[in-house]
Structure 1
Amino acid sequence: MPIGSYDKNKPLNLGEHRWKYLLQAGYTTPLGSKDLSLQLAADVTGFGHNDDYGPNSQTLTQKPLYQFQAWLKYNLGGGFDLRAGTSHFVGGETSVDGVASDDRTRTTNAKFGFGWGFAPGWHFAALYGRDLTVRNGLKESDRINLRLLKAF
């Protein structure tokens, strides 16, 4: 939702002055035994227009951005699991007043880590990852994600 602050004359804004929409579909299936599973997901992000972009109030448009994910998860018992996965982003090229910016994203990364359900309703996950290939973006050489979840 376009609820952040936006001023076309500032070089950095907390808002983008446009809507974003995300749709995700996922599928999980066991592989062989009940301890190993495959998780697949696909996302598409749609972008609204910013008709007040830049100091000349131009129109910024952006093509959809797609993400595809695949994960293997192995249950060790006792609430512990090991996980490894990859994701690929593609698309998202922007245009200003109909002139394409040739900034289409194409990024592939890999991650691995573990999860631990240490109490009823509580889960902790830790992942290490890095970008393998990047086109039109910043390359992450190292990433650590920590997540603590409480399900109500």
Structure 2
Amino acid sequence: MKFLRSLAFALMALPFTALAIDLQPNDIVAPIPGKNHAMISYLNTDNSTFYRNGSAVSTGPYKSPDISTQSAILRLLTSYSVSDLPAVSYLQLPYGTIKPAGSLAAYPTDTGVGDLTFATAIWPYSDRVNRRYLGIAGYLTAPTGSYNSQQPFNTGENRYKSDIQMGYQQPIIGDLDGMIAVDTMWFGGNSQCAAACLSTANTSLTQKSLTTTQLGPIYKISQTYTVGASYFYVAGGATTIGNTYQNNVVNTQRFLLSALAYYPFGRISLQYGRDMEIKNGFVETRRFIMRYTTEF
């Protein structure tokens, strides 16, 4: 039963939600105060083989799983100063679909609004001349999304999440910069976990904190085009259902490639990535993100 519950939790939570606060190239660069921006994103991911403690599961409904997600995300940002330090805040709301297929085709598709996220970042150190930046950000996600405890797939998680992140960026040589960021995410409890916890009645789901390190180069090709690459290491996040510890620590390595274009009408960015190594959960075989950001 412990093994099946662990599978069920991954089915509910991992496909739709990122395991970290992924940064785009130059997100650590301090913003110019007094600006308002809107960003619209399209996210498409695909998850397949399920891993349990480093071994692929190939029996029962997990013989050939396929879980695809599509999501449109709206983010509204405003930049300002706090005691002469650059700062930015934003609200973010997703709307998407989780669709199981393959050996998981018996599970219903879920479409709806995701959870609302509020974030604020401040830069205690910002040197635009020498391109050196240190930023600190806080994130809070509220359980405002669509959730039904009687189905395992939900676009909302029915729990609060918070995150603290610190990032640093500086030049390496010429127009090549390097960035590194570390964040830790904390999870509130979900007291209405039924189908996803293989329970006929609501039970409790709790999760330990999750820490992510991301780093990589950023290269400015010209005033218009910038590219970047990021490596992620994610650790922690084991869950408990009721009073039963699931022994399903997340230990994932993945990469993300980015290309940005800055035009007079706004910024367009494309990102592609996937998991390289995973210990527990469904492996992500594709992550594609397209974003458009404009000032208003």
Q: TM-score range by the shorter chain?
A: 0.7 to 0.9
What are the ranges of 5 or more consecutive residues in structure 2 without an aligned counterpart? 1-141, 195-199
Determine the C-alpha separation between the residues in 1 that align with 2:237 and 2:243.
Answer: 14
List per-residue Cα deviations over 1:38-90 (Å, max 9, x = no partner): 11111211111122322333221100111111121111113211211111111
Q: Aligned-residue CA RMSD in angstroms? A: 1.9
Q: Which residue of 1 aligns with 2:272?
A: 128
Give 1:40's aligned amino acid: I
Moved more, 54-63 or 68-77: 54-63
Alpha-carbon distance, 1:123 to partner: 1.1
SS class of match (1:107): strand
Determine the C-alpha separation between the residues in 2 that align with 1:82 and 1:45.
Answer: 27
Q: Which residue of 2 aligns with 1:12?
A: 153
Q: Which residue of 2 aligns with 1:50?
A: 190
Greater strand percent: which structure?
1
Determine the C-alpha separation between the residues in 1 that align with 2:293 and 2:226.
Answer: 15
Q: 1:62 to 1:37 in 2, by over 3 A?
A: same
Q: Which contiguous aligned blocks of 4+ residues in structure 1 show a shift greater than 4 angstroms?
A: none
Q: Which residue of 2 aligns with 1:150?
A: 294
Q: Aligned residues, how many?
A: 150
Determine the C-alpha separation between the residues in 2 that align with 1:128 and 1:10.
Answer: 30
Q: Which residue of 1 aligns with 2:227?
A: 82
SS class of match (1:142): strand
Q: 1:124 to 1:7 in 2, by over 3 A?
A: closer
Q: Which residue of 2 aligns with 1:70?
A: 215
Q: Does 1:40 align with 2:180?
A: yes
Determine the C-alpha separation between the residues in 2 that align with 1:14 and 1:84.
Answer: 28
Q: 1:109 to 1:12 in 2, by over 3 A?
A: closer
SS class of match (1:46): strand
Determine the C-alpha separation between the residues in 2 that align with 1:75 and 1:30.
Answer: 11
Alpha-carbon distance, 1:32 to partner: 2.5
Q: Which residue of 1 aligns with 2:166?
A: 25
Give 1:129's aligned amino acid: G
What are the ranges of 5 or more consecutive residues in structure 1 without an aligned counterpart? none
The equivalent position to 1:93 in structure 2, one of 231, 234, 238, is 238
Higher relative contact order (CA 8 A, sep 6+): 2
Superposition TM-score, scaled by structure 2 size: 0.47
Identity over aligned pairs, percent: 29
Greater helix percent: which structure?
2
Determine the C-alpha separation between the residues in 2 that align with 1:127 and 1:6.
Answer: 29
